[in-house]
Amino acid sequence: MQTFFRYNWMVREEWYRWCEDLSEEELLKDRTGGVGSILQTLFHIVDVEWSWIRQLQGKPDFQEDFNQYKSLNKVRELDARFHIEVESFVNKWDEGMENRLHLDTLPDGRTATDTWGEVIRHIIAHEIHHIGQLSIWAREIGLKPVSANVIGRGLATYTNE
């Protein structure tokens, strides 16, 4: 599980660097699919990851307003601030947490019950889904997207036994 969080963080950082060459107009241009623009999608990834982790910890969650973060630097600063808490939680993950229950009240008033393991995997898949959207948008503007390849990133350690 920690491996895929590290993977997502690596790829996200590469997307930030990729975005450095885009104009503010291109970063904020409304796109088809996703949550709006390239920058808003990166903001959304960061905000959702942090929100879910806070919920699992029983901490209050609040929604950041994208209008306060309409620059690449501001989104990166938010990410750095939230990352401290997220990484700490991820690094403390152990198998005993897998089947703890998370209760969530849905907009229609129903209660959803999921395990922490399901929520963690949802967080990972959520980012991968949106990174795929960024890749499509990159190609639409004629640019090569960041590689989504897991292989070659040094995420696993090899021991010769």
CB 92 within 8 A of CB 109: no
DSSP state of 104: E
Local confidence band at 15 (pLDDT 50, 70, 90 cut-offs): very high
pLDDT surpasses 60 at 105 = yes
Q: What is the pLDDT of residue 43?
A: 97
Strand 111-115 to strand 101-105: parallel, antiparallel, or no bridges (unpaired)? antiparallel
> What was the pLDDT predicted at 58?
92
Please report which residue ranges of the chain form alpha helices under DSSP H. 2-19, 24-28, 38-56, 72-91, 116-140
The residue behind tokens 């997220």 is: 86
Question: pLDDT tens digits, residue range 55-87?
Answer: 999 998 878 899 999 999 999 999 999 999 999
- Give the model confidence (pLDDT) of 110-140 as tens digits: 999 999 999 999 999 999 999 999 999 999 9
Give this prediction's pTM.
0.92
pLDDT of residue 9: 97
Cα–Cα distance measured from residue 74 to residue 137, given in angstroms and rounded to the nearest whole number = 21
Architecture category of domain 2-22+31-140 in CATH: Up-down Bundle (1.20)
Q: Which DSSP state fits 131? A: H
